[in-house]
Amino acid sequence: MTDPLQFQPQPDSDRAAICSPPSDNDLLSEVLRDLRLAHASYGRTELTSPWGLAVPFREGVRFHAVLEGHCWIKAEQLPPLLLEKGDLLLLPHGTEHIMSDDPKRRPMPLAEAKPALIGNGTYELKSGGGGARSLIVCCTIGFEGPTANPLLDLLPSVMHVRRADHDGTDLSSLLGMMAREVEKRRVGSATVMARLADIVMTQVIRTWVETRADELTGWLAAVRDPQIGMGLATIHRTPGENWTVDRLAAIAGLSRSRFSYRFRELLSVSPARYILQWRLRLAASWLRNEYMSLSQVAEQLGYESDASFSRAFKRFMGVPPGAARARGRSLERNV
């Protein structure tokens, strides 16, 4: 099969090293390792019934941990979701959503609730009508590194971990530490909470995947598949290599036809299309965040020239590479 992006073959010695089966094909672990914390903010949110908050989109990963009471979450194209004491919700894409004590409650904009800044990246919010209390820790985490956004985009829009799924685990201990930090407000609390938020997010993803092994679909199901996961890990490690179905199938230990069938079954796209999507996600992110110049991106992804890269980018993204910085994240949603 001819590669759709006109890649130059790498030297045989480099290719041999790249094509050696990786010792660890757990791509999910690689995704989590590649996420490097850049900043975090957190809030102690104390709400009494009746209450409702409309939370706008914000760049980064959000999570809510219910320490007391309950919380309904509503978001576009998602059914209402009930969070109870001990539950956590991760929103990997910073999704706009509504939090309330009742799914029918009309919310007020978050800004109108007037969160009070009490420290560096730390706020406190109190709102509601004086009834039953809910205490929720709300965090927003930003990550650095050129692959942060593409990796996060591969995760589902909502990841809900129930208390029963993590009771007695390290995640429970971490939530206990977070609750104590929120309550005591000691010196350096913002720094501690930022680190805890980073670890908790990782644990939430891991727990969510481990407790839903039979329910996983799409990308998460693929990375958990021993053969397809190895092929995906290979693509992600070296996106600029001249990958073909034959080479990926050999790495996965499957026939060409079996690899293609299983890949499409799990990911709903062909291997060639997935390679293209991943490369363009990387290109859009690198350009948007100004990690690399256009020439550097083209070289890193194996294009023969800046012109060939620009043509491919415009063909599949609908705009030239120069528009990536202006259009931002919306570009990555197109692939």
For the chain, the domains span 12-29+218-332, 35-210
pLDDT band of residue 258 (cuts 50, 70, 90) is very high
User: With 80 as the cut, is the pLDDT of residue 178 above it?
Assistant: no
Cβ-proximal residues to 125 (8 Å cutoff; 6+ apart), any chain = 43, 44, 45, 46, 47, 113, 114, 115, 116
Q: State whether residue 67 is helix, strand or coil.
A: strand
pLDDT band of residue 23 (cuts 50, 70, 90) is very low
For 311, the enclosing helix (H) or strand (E) is: helix 306-317
- Looking at residue 327, its pLDDT comes to 55
Nearest to 291 by CA among 165, 150, 105: 150
Identical topology for domains 12-29+218-332 and 35-210: no
Measured CA to CA in angstroms, residue 213 lies from 155, 177, 219, 322 at distances of 15, 28, 13, 41
Cα–Cα distance measured from residue 144 to residue 154, given in angstroms and rounded to the nearest whole number: 16
Report the Cα–Cα distance between both ends of the chain, in Å, rounded.
21
Segment 196-249, tens digit of pLDDT: 877 887 788 777 777 776 667 778 788 888 889 888 888 888 888 989 999 999
Cα–Cα distance measured from residue 320 to residue 327, given in angstroms and rounded to the nearest whole number: 11
Nearest to 181 by CA among 166, 193, 198: 193
Fold type of domain 12-29+218-332: Arc Repressor Mutant, subunit A (1.10.10)
CB 160 within 8 A of CB 208: yes
- Looking at residue 234, its pLDDT comes to 86
Segment 56-109, tens digit of pLDDT: 998 888 989 998 999 999 998 788 999 999 899 989 888 999 999 999 999 999
Cα–Cα distance measured from residue 39 to residue 179, given in angstroms and rounded to the nearest whole number: 20
Rg of the Cα trace of the chain? Answer: 22
Residue 123 is encoded by which pair of tokens?
């706020």
Fold type of domain 35-210: Jelly Rolls (2.60.120)
